[in-house]
């Protein structure tokens, strides 16, 4: 089932979970840095230990962070990549020039399945992100939770069949996020055929703490270990 599909385990908040995800076969680790609405958010200083010697390439997720602060983050943490949770074409271009050795990931958010989507706007964001220097696109789901709109870590799915068409037409690798868990990851890969999957709440015991059993089940499903996959 895997056939080259990469796995990013996001919302890592401690070195134990980083080692767990790497040991079970994850390709990337995601650490949320100074994102006010995320219960998994860490300060730059607080994330230093995870980034000091990560067992897998570590991606720092930011949201509307000023360029001066992004610069401090890169200089302090030395991440493999920075992932922008909000539209950031200008920021992508500036970071591409300033930090050529750092990969740039751009999240593009869709509404939950069943809600209307402006597909032209989504395709425009894809083109703008690619043109500005994004190395990877993450198609995620934005949702209103407890009266607050959240970008990432929502546990909500978008319309995966429609997303497949976006993946086919994208000139850079696309990771699928939003509502993925061990029970549906095989279907997600089959329907969308992404370059990778990106998940957080789907393998947690509680916000900010990963479940070893869920990560093992996820990786088994990605590999196609279950009968019939």
**Per-residue pLDDT tens over the stretch 124-170:** 999 999 999 999 999 998 754 445 555 555 567 888 988 998 999 89
Structure confidence at residue 169 (pLDDT) = 83
| 226 pLDDT more than 60 | no
CB burial readout 68-82, b (16+ within 10 A) else e: eebeebbeebebbbb
The HSE-up count of residue 175 (CA atoms within 13 Å, CB side) is: 28
Amino acid 152: pLDDT: 56
Task: Output the pLDDT for position 37.
Answer: 87
Record the pTM: 0.91
Q: Domain 6-223: give its CATH code.
A: 3.20.20.70
pLDDT for the residue 228: 39
Give me the pLDDT at residue 146, please.
45
85's tokens:
């949770």
Asked whether residue 25 carries a pLDDT value surpassing 60, the answer given is yes
pLDDT of residue 145: 47
Instruction: Report the percentage of the chain scoring pLDDT > 70.
Output: 91
pLDDT surpassing 50 at residue 42: yes
Confidence of residue 112 (pLDDT cuts 50, 70, 90): confident
Residue 226 and residue 42: Cα distance in Å, rounded?
A: 36
- Residue 122 CA to residue 196 CA, distance in Å, equals 19
Helix%, strand%, coil% for the chain, nearest 5 = 35, 25, 40
Beta carbons within 10 angstroms of residue 101's beta carbon: 7
CA distances from 18 to 30, 31, 133, 204, 205 (A): 9, 10, 28, 13, 15
Q: How confident is the model at residue 227 (pLDDT cuts 50, 70, 90)?
A: very low
Provide DSSP, 99-163.
-TTSEEEEEEEEPPTTS---HHHHHHHHHHHHHHT-SEEEEEEEEEETTEEEES-------HHHH
pLDDT 10s digits, 81-109: 999 999 899 999 999 999 999 999 999 98
CA within 13 Å, CB half, 30:
29
Measured between alpha carbons, how far apart are the two ends of the chain, in Å? 7
* Average pLDDT, integer, range 204-220: 96
Q: Is the pLDDT of residue 229 over 70?
A: no
pLDDT of the residue at 150: 53
Q: How confident is the model over 75-84, as a mean pLDDT?
A: 98
Between 229 and 188, the more confident residue is 188
Residues β-bridged to residue 174: 137
Can you give the C-alpha Rg of the chain in angstroms?
16
What local confidence, expressed as pLDDT, does residue 148 receive?
53
């Amino acid at each position: 089932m895997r056939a080259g599909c990469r796995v990013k385990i996001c919302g890592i908040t401690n070195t134990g979970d980083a080692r767990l995800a790497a040991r079970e076969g994850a390709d990337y680790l995601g650490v949320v840095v100074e994102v006010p609405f995320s219960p998994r958010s860490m300060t730059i200083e607080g994330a230093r230990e995870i980034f000091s010697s990560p067992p897998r390439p570590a991606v720092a997720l930011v949201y509307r962070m000023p360029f001066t602060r992004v610069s401090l983050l890169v200089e302090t943490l030395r991440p493999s990549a920075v992932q922008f949770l909000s539209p950031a074409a200008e920021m992508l271009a500036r970071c591409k020039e300033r930090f050529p050795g750092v990969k740039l990931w751009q999240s593009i958010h869709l509404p939950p399945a069943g809600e209307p989507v402006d597909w032209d706007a989504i395709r425009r964001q894809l083109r703008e992100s690619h043109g500005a220097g994004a190395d990877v696109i993450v198609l995620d789901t934005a949702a209103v939770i407890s009266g607050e709109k959240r970008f990432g870590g929502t546990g909500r799915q978008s319309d995966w069949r429609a997303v497949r068409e976006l993946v086919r037409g994208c000139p850079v690798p696309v990771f699928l996020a939003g509502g993925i868990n061990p029970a549906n990851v095989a279907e997600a890969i089959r329907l969308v055929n992404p370059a990778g999957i990106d998940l957080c709440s789907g393998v947690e015991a509680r916000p900010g703490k990963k479940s070893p059993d869920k990560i093992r089940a996820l990786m088994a499903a990605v590999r196609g270990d279950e009968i019939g996959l």
